Structure 1
């Protein structure tokens, strides 16, 4: 994509004077600072180790909660987490039925 096409498509994102007048951030510093605080300080504490998929799951869940989108997210992911579980034969079944 050439420069002209890029700026034509993203013109609304390049209104720095208006954003500055509205006291809105125009740089990436806030996001970079959040990454440092949330990711590095929380996920890399002494003795903590996260695999990529586990760390990503925690960050995704945190984002869903903070954005108050749990109902929408649950609609999308519930089928994955509600797979039937077949207990071993030696487990006593109490006849209790669970539903979500």
Structure 2
């Protein structure tokens, strides 16, 4: 299983400012919301997989401790990354709100 952040390159690509088709604020908001929703769903799937493997190990259904530990570590790293991104987004929002117009 691979851990990936969904379409980060698409979010970070600059919109074509020189072209005539500009992205509306509503479209940008929808794209950003979809990206966040996808990332949270991906995190949830990874957490659920870790939980199911841990439970299966505890009940004796699987014997591969290494796979369970690797899956748990992937879930932990993914959660920590998500929390750090959340903090950065909140910091950026607060900085924008402090700007004077």
Q: Is TM-score (shorter-chain normalized) higher than 0.5?
A: no
The higher-RCO structure (CA 8 Å, 6+ apart) is 2
Report the structure number with the largest CA radius of gyration. Answer: 1
TM-score by length of 2: 0.25
Query: Greater helix percent: which structure?
Result: 2
TM-score by length of 1: 0.26
